[in-house]
């Protein structure tokens, strides 16, 4: 059994993670970031930073909805396992047994297990898939069946390797419809979303809730400006990419995949879904299970999924044994959702890495400070003080551990390129707030909120 979470470590990690996300929304020039963390049997953080609609100046809130795209695959896999538990299908059934239009076709011979694992060798999106840039509509049922029956639908032999396929998950949606006797959208809404009581999730674009959706934006990689992107219906590919959601309800949904929770599935089904079957690259991690990505962050195994929809990039990660889930949703096609989500676990691991110290005397040193060269955070994690560079994708990668010496903080570890053995010297105002910090490199920094470049720099 994993060690129980230390509530103080969780609290300190959440406090800094919230601040770090706010900084990164501005630093990475992402229009908006929405994030949530589930820990200790409840949603412990639900925050939003930036704008839902840049042109209209609408502030992003935790209630705004995002297109969470390939997160849909986790709902599809959950539905398949539910139907298997009910005896309506088996994982080793051939797809053609349920979707009779594919009897005699190559893809009709694939098992549901192979499709769930992306092991069927199925085309990723077909030979022409410009629905991903909204040039054409997403395929309807008949158009999807035409792709599934086409000569180019099978690209490599089954079980040859991991080969991600939206088309394969579209086929699983058709299987669910046949086995459940209702539409895919109706089944997952009733048997998963409604069962958990989550109003902030749904299987497809809902025009009646148009005002609740965060606008999506294009990338800076090909333009100096971001352009808003319309939301569209994903039709027969809803089972691969149709879902919408907010971070609060998404982490709550992933909490139902924690071991010991029987709201959606038995633990036996969850273990099978979460088993790391296929390597997704030449590296040992990450891997893929049955409808879930599986990777290692530090020493912990985490499950989850990402989502890439035109204008929205999203990522969820969950430690199903320790009961922690993180979701980060961004409204830009180049939003760094994976980096931002992984950072929470890395910070928590840093907080848990040593025996806790007492944080009572440390709080007065904390804050975010800037000089010409950049920004530095002084953070309490695990009852210890660290200097952290918030611009790093992994904020826990090169922390400088510090110890209090009067009104200074002495560097007692970290990289040899840092200033081991030297001190940060703090100047406090009459109210006890930090007015300035003379860095271990000798540079003067001031609180970021009031920082301005020196006149000589501004006027150069």
| Residue pLDDT, tens place only, 39-80 | 999 999 999 999 999 999 999 999 999 999 999 999 999 999
pLDDT attached to residue 45: 98
pLDDT attached to residue 390: 97
pLDDT attached to residue 443: 92
Q: From the first residue on, what is the mean pLDDT of each consecutive set of 10 residues in the chain (460 residues)? A: 84 98 98 98 98 98 98 98 98 98 97 98 97 97 98 95 98 98 98 98 97 98 96 98 98 97 97 97 95 96 98 98 97 98 98 85 95 96 96 94 96 88 96 93 91 72
Nearest to 404 by CA among 339, 357, 337: 357
* CATH number for the domain formed by residue range(s) 363-458: 2.40.128.50
Instruction: Please list, residue by residue across 118-133, b when 16 or more beta carbons sit within 10 angstroms of its beta carbon and e when fewer do.
Output: bbbbbbebbeebebee
pLDDT attached to residue 2: 67
Q: Tens digit of pLDDT for each residue in 413-423? A: 988 888 899 99
Nearest to 178 by CA among 267, 239, 137: 239
Give span(s): CATH 2.40.128.50, the chain. Answer: 363-458
d(CA 174, CA 96): 10
Separation of CA 284 from chain center: 21
pLDDT attached to residue 411: 95
What the block records as the tokens of 331 is 């409204």
Contact 72, 243 (CB under 8 A): yes
pLDDT attached to residue 239: 98
pLDDT attached to residue 3: 74
* CATH number for the domain formed by residue range(s) 7-67+205-224+243-351: 3.40.710.10
pLDDT attached to residue 355: 87
Give span(s): CATH 3.40.710.10, the chain. Answer: 7-67+205-224+243-351
Residue ranges with strand state E in 123-195: none
């Amino acid at each position: 059994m994993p060690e129980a979470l230390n509530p103080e470590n969780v609290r300190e990690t959440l406090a800094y993670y919230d601040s770090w996300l706010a900084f990164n929304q501005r630093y990475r020039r992402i229009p908006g970031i929405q994030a949530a963390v589930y820990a200790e049997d409840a949603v412990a953080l639900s925050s939003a930073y930036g704008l839902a609609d840049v042109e209209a100046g609408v502030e992003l809130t935790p209630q705004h909805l995002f297109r969470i795209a390939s997160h849909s695959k986790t709902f599809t896999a959950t539905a398949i396992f539910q139907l298997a538990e009910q005896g309506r299908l088996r994982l080793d059934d051939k797809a053609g047994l349920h979707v009779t239009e594919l009897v005699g076709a190559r893809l009709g011979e694939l098992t549901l297990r192979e499709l769930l694992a992306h092991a069927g060798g199925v085309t990723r999106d077909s030979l022409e898939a410009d629905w991903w840039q909204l040039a054409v509509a997403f395929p309807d049922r008949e158009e999807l069946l035409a792709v599934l029956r086409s000569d180019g639908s099978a690209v490599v032999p089954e079980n040859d390797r991991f080969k991600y396929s939206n088309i394969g998950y579209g086929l699983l949606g058709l299987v669910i419809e046949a086995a459940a006797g209702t539409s895919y959208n109706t089944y997952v809404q009733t048997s998963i979303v409604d069962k958990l009581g989550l109003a902030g999730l749904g299987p497809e674009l809902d025009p009646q809730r148009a005002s609740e959706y965060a606008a999506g934006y294009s990338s800076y990689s090909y333009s100096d400006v971001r352009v808003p992107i319309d939301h569209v219906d994903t039709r027969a590919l809803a089972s691969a990419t149709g879902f919408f959601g907010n971070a609060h309800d998404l982490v709550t949904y992933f909490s139902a995949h924690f071991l010991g929770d029987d709201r959606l599935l038995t633990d036996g089904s969850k273990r099978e879904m979460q088993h790391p079957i296929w390597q997704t690259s030449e590296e040992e991690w990450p891997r893929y299970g049955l409808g879930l990505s599986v990777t290692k962050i530090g020493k912990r195994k985490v499950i989850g999924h990402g989502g890439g929809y035109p204008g929205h990039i999203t990522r969820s990660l969950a430690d199903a044994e320790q009961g922690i889930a993180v979701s980060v949703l961004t409204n830009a096609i180049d939003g760094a959702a994976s980096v931002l989500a992984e950072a929470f676990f890395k910070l928590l691991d840093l907080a848990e890495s040593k025996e806790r110290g007492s944080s009572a005397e440390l709080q007065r040193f904390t804050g975010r400070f800037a000089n010409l060269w950049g920004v530095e955070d002084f953070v309490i994690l695990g009852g210890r003080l660290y200097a952290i560079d918030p611009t790093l994708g992994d904020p826990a990668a090169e922390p400088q551990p510090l110890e209090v010496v009067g009104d200074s903080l002495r560097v007692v570890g970290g990289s040899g390129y840092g200033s081991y053995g030297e001190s940060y010297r703090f100047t406090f105002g009459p109210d006890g707030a930090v007015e300035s910090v003379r860095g271990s490199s000798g540079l003067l920094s001031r609180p970021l909120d009031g920082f301005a470049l020196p006149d000589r720099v501004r006027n150069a």
